Structures are given as structure tokens and as C-alpha cells.
Structure 1
Amino acid sequence: MKVGFIGTGSMGSLLIDAFIRSGALLPEQIRVSNRTPEKAQQLSKRHPGLTVCSCNKETASESDLFFICVKPLEFKSVISEIRDRLSEHQIAVSITSPVQLIHLESALPCKVAKIIPSITNITGGGASLCMYGSRIKEEDRQLIQSLLSYISRPVEILESHTRITSDFSSCGPAFLSLFLEKWIDAAVEMTGIDRGTLNALAGEMLVGTGKLLTEEGFSPEQLQERVAVPGGITAQALILLNSHLNGLFYQLIETTHDKYEEDLAKLDAAFGFSVNRPRY
């Protein structure tokens, strides 16, 4: 199977690195193209055998399955460039959350799917959110999920839940990292402890907490109850956190959805759609 990547920026290159590192794909199976050719050439140096194509049309036409890893407002021009070189047997996979399956199916003759990867996939962990167009057959779904299973846990979701699930699986590592950064900053300033020590401890804590939630079956509420002894230090700190965080996550969801809907409206206009969608 030949797999293409249109766009080798942050997420495109991450997927390529993860697929090769995990053994899901050999470099010889991969075709890439990028608006800045030097970035694609860097990948070919890192992964000898990988083919750098001269244009997006070449990447798409020479791939059985190809990922479109570009910014939302670049999609229309990319699709216009490649659509005449595609057949109904190929599979196009978007990794960009505001781009809708209906946008892709209206403009491309091939099968279409959408996945939302995460930076955690480079470690072989985290989830990949999966959505499938109407032309996707069961064997296509199995092919995509088998490929993703090398680097993640594939989770099929409703497209209407793209944004809220992405907040957790894709944006979540950045949100948690900000929390840890502020916590570590305060600890270093107040106690003089070495930052590297706390970075390492925080990382191990996140790994262990993740396993408790995914492998041991704890819910977040149960985990708090297990750790916090009534009247103890942890319980007192949880009261403080709860009082300050009350309402914050409603604002966070509003913020991410506002940006998503802004991009979605622009894409609807670009693809000629006028659609009223529920906010959540």
C-alpha cells in the first residue's frame, strides 16, 4: 500500500514519524509533498526511501490512501488541485477538524474519512478520533483503524462531537501542560527546588494517572476520593482548586467552539454550503 501526505508541517510530519517508528509503514511506502519543499526534503533525509513528490497532484494520484494535513482555509485550493487526478477507489483522509465530511464528499470523487490525531501519538499513546464518509466500506474502515492502531487507540465518534472530543484528545496535552507549567513555576519560586526534578515527577504522575483512568477503571471522581483523605492536605487543596476553577471550563469550551465555528463558517462559504448546525 502506498500512503501519501499532503502537508508535512507539525502534524503531518508527526504522523509520518510515528507510522515509521511504530513499523506501521516503511519509508518506501510513503509519498509526500509540501508547500515549502525544504520541509519535505528534511523528512526524506530523516527517513531514507521516502519519496518527495513534485506537487500535491503527484502525491494524491500515486497513493492508495493519502492524508491531507493542511490548515482549514488551504483545503479548498488543495482539493481543487488534486480532484481531477483521483479515482473512486482511493481514500482521502483529512486531519483538520473544521473540514466536514460533506465538504470533502461534495468536491472529491474518492472515498473520504476524517481523523483527529494527537501529539501523544508519537509515543504510540493517546487516541485518534475517527469519522467516515458515506462511501467508506467496512474494509476501508478496518484498514484505517488498523493503521492508526499502531500509534494510538482509534475511537470512532460522531462528527458533531469533533470539537469537544478534540478538546480532550488533541488540545488536552497543551491544557494540562499549562497547568503543570504554572504549578512548577510557583514551586520553584517558593521553594527553590530544581525544575528538572519537578518536570520528571510531573511526567511520571501523568503517565500513572492515565493508566489508572484507562487500565484500572477509575473515574476522575473516584481517583480524587481515593487520594484525598477527609480533612487531609490533598482534600484541602482540592477545595481551593474547585473554588478557583468553578466556571473556567465552561469558558474554555466556549472559546474552542467559537474558533471552530469561525473556521467552519469560512469553509462552508468556500465550498458553497449554507448550513445551520447546533452549537454543541
Structure 2
Amino acid sequence: MLTGFIGTGSMGSILIEAFIRSGGLRPEEMVAANRTPAKAERLARQFPGLQAAGSAAEAAEASDLLFLCVKPGDFPELLRTIAPHCRPDQLIVSITSPVMLNQLEDRLPGKIAKVIPSVTNLVLSGAALCIYGSRIEPEDKKRLEWLLASISRPLEVAEDFTRISSDISSCGPAFMAYLLGRLVDAAVEVAGIRREEAERMAGEMLLGTGMLLTAGGLCPQDIIARVAVPGGITEEALKLLDRELGGTFTRLIGSTHAKFREDAEKVAELLREG
């Protein structure tokens, strides 16, 4: 039984590496294809046993579980290419949020799902968002979530909430890393601490905060209440953040939703033309 990956860019290669590192899949259970064949061949050299397919069609035909890891604009051509090589019993998983389940089900046989992974899956952590099509059976969910559990915590979400869920789970690491980077920059500039030291402290702080929010059973307000004592330094700093940030995150979510709608409309138009 082979698991295929079409597209070995950033997220496709993260999934392949994470599944192998976790033991969820062995290299010899995987086949990968990329529009630039040399990229798939490089993965095959990195992970002996992994097969580099010569084309997307070849990977689709060989796979029982198939991950589609390409950009939204590449989907119309990809779907035309692989449709004749897909099967009704095949489990086909897109990791591209602006491509809708019904669009995939209209053009491919098989059991269709979407999974939104996270860069955190590379260290076998974070969530993997699961969205299921109409042909998915309970055993298909169990099979897919068992595999995803080797690298993440699978969470089922409704397709209507794909974008906001992705903002938190998939885009969130970049947002938090940006804020952490700005904190480190300020620490280096104002206090003269070595950047490497500040980054190490910041990373450990973020890891510990994540543990409090998960295993520790706390919510963000709980953490704030425990750290920001009345009249203290943290409370004063939080007042500044509240004044300065204001509606920043509301605008941030507005911008991601606008981009999502733009991408989804482009995909729909390309699929109509195809």
C-alpha cells in the first residue's frame, strides 16, 4: 500500500519528512512526484526507499492514499492530468484550502478530504485540520487520522471555518514568530543582550506557554491573570500593548480572509474555463 505526494515544495516535503521521522510511514511506503522531477529525486536520495515518480499521473495511479500538495492555481491542470488515473476506492487529500471539496469531488473519483497541516508538524506537534467530503466513510476518517496522529493532533473542522482555523493553526506559527522576533529585536536594541541568548529564552518561553495552554489546561486569560499582578510591570506593559495593537488582529484576519476569497474565486474561474 503506497502513500503518494504530488508536490514536494515546502509543505509537501514537511509532510514526507515528518511521516518518516515519526514512523507513521516508511520511505518504501511512499511515492512522490513534482513538476520539477529533480526535486522528487532529491527526496528519494535523502530517504532511500522512497520512490520518485516520473509524473503526477504515475504517482496517482500507484497510490492508495494520495496527498495533493500544490498551489491553488496549479489545480485545474493537475486534476485534468490525474483524473483518469484515480480510483473510486482511493483516498485523495488536498492540503490547499481555497480548493473546495465539491470542486474536487466533481472532477475526481475517490474519497475526498482536505487536511491543513502546520509547519509545527515537522517536530511532530501542532494540529492538522481535517475537512471531509461526502464520500468519506468512518473507516476512511479513522485511517487518515491514525496517520496524521503520528505527526500532529488531528482536529475535524467544517469547511466553512477552514480559513479562520488555518489562521490560528497554520498561519499562527508565522504570526507568533514575527511577534517573538520583534520582542527579541527590542531586547537586543534596548538592553544589549546577545541575540542568540534572547532567542533561546524566547523559544523556551513560547514552548512553555504552549504547554500551559494544552497540557496545563489554562486559557490565555488564565496565564495573563497569573503573570500580570495588579500594579506590576507586566500589567503596565499589557496596557501599552492594548493601546498600540488595538484592532490589529481583527484587521489581520480580515486580510487573510480577503486573500482566501481572491484565491478561491481564481480557482473557481480556472476550473470553469477548464
- Shorter-chain TM range is over 0.9
- Counterpart residue number, 1:217: 217
Between the aligned partners of 1:180 and 1:250, the Cα distance in structure 2 is: 19
Runs of 5+ consecutive residues of structure 2 not aligned to the other structure: none
Equivalence map 1:8-27=2 (5 Å) = 8-27=8-27
Equivalence map 1:229-248=2 (5 Å) = 229-248=229-248
Q: How big is each residue's C-alpha offset from its partner over 1:28-80, in whole Å with a ceiling of 9 and x where there is no partner?
A: 00011001111111101110000001100000010000100000010110010
Between the aligned partners of 2:72 and 2:268, the Cα distance in structure 1 is: 11
Amino acid at match of 1:93: V
Between the aligned partners of 2:8 and 2:118, the Cα distance in structure 1 is: 15
Look up the SS of the partner of 1:155 in the other structure. Answer: strand
Amino acid at match of 1:117: P
Look up the SS of the partner of 1:112 in the other structure. Answer: strand
Look up the SS of the partner of 1:67 in the other structure. Answer: strand
Between the aligned partners of 2:219 and 2:104, the Cα distance in structure 1 is: 37
Q: How big is each residue's C-alpha offset from its partner over 1:91-113, in whole Å with a ceiling of 9 and x where there is no partner?
A: 11000111110110010011110
- Counterpart residue number, 1:74: 74
Amino acid at match of 2:198: L
Between the aligned partners of 1:110 and 1:148, the Cα distance in structure 2 is: 19
Question: CA shift at 1:267, angstroms?
Answer: 1.4
TM-score, length-scaled by structure 2: 0.98
Verify: 1:97 aligned to 2:80, yes or no: no
Between the aligned partners of 2:224 and 2:236, the Cα distance in structure 1 is: 12
Equivalence map 1:33-52=2 (5 Å) = 33-52=33-52
- Counterpart residue number, 2:173: 173
Verify: 1:262 aligned to 2:267, yes or no: no
TM-score, length-scaled by structure 1: 0.96
Amino acid at match of 1:17: E
- Counterpart residue number, 2:144: 144
Between the aligned partners of 2:264 and 2:236, the Cα distance in structure 1 is: 43
Fraction of identical pairs, as percent: 52
Runs of 5+ consecutive residues of structure 1 not aligned to the other structure: 274-280
- Counterpart residue number, 1:159: 159
Question: CA shift at 1:245, angstroms?
Answer: 1.1
Between the aligned partners of 1:16 and 1:257, the Cα distance in structure 2 is: 28
Question: CA shift at 1:271, angstroms?
Answer: 2.6
Between the aligned partners of 1:192 and 1:225, the Cα distance in structure 2 is: 29
